[in-house]
C-alpha cells in the first residue's frame, strides 16, 4: 500500500512539474466570399392534387432540384408566356 501511495505521489509531482505539451492553436478568421444580393422572399402556399405533388417530388429527386426551384421556374415561365413579363 505504501508503494502505491508513493507512486501516486510521484505521478502528481510529475504532473505539477511538467508544463503541458499540448500545441497552442492559432485562431484565424475564415474569409467568406461576398454573397450575391438576393431578392426578398415571401411565403407562397397552394393546395395541389396529390398526384401532381408526387410527380413533382419524383422529378425533383431524379434531377437534383428543389420543389422551390421548380415552382419559381414554372411561375416565371407562365408569366412570360401570358404577359411577356420577366424579372
In a domain, 52, yes or no: yes
User: Residues near 87 by Cβ (< 8 Å), separated by ≥ 6?
Assistant: 76
pLDDT at 1 over 80: no
* Spatial contact of 53 and 43, defined as CB atoms under 8 Å apart: no
Cα 57 from Cα 65, distance rounded (Å): 9
Rg (CA), the chain: 32
pLDDT at 37 over 90: no
Lowest mean pLDDT among 6-10, 36-40, 46-50, 64-68: 6-10
pTM, rounded to two decimals = 0.53
In a domain, 39, yes or no: no
More confident site: 48 or 31: 48
Q: What is the pLDDT of residue 51?
A: 96
In a domain, 73, yes or no: yes
Number of domains in the chain: 1
In a domain, 1, yes or no: no
In a domain, 63, yes or no: yes
In a domain, 25, yes or no: no
Task: Check residue 64 and give left, alpha or beta (phi > 0: left; psi -120 to 50: alpha).
Answer: left
Query: Residue 62's domain spans which residues?
Result: 48-87
Amino acid at each position: 500500500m505504501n508503494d502505491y501511495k508513493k507512486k501516486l505521489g510521484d505521478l502528481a509531482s510529475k504532473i505539477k512539474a511538467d508544463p503541458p505539451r499540448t500545441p497552442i492553436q492559432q485562431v484565424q478568421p475564415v474569409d467568406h466570399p461576398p454573397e450575391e444580393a438576393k431578392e426578398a422572399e415571401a411565403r407562397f402556399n397552394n393546395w395541389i392534387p396529390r398526384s401532381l405533388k408526387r410527380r413533382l417530388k419524383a422529378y425533383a429527386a431524379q434531377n437534383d432540384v428543389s420543389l422551390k426551384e421548380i415552382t419559381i421556374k414554372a411561375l416565371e415561365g407562365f408569366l412570360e408566356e401570358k404577359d411577356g413579363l420577366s424579372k
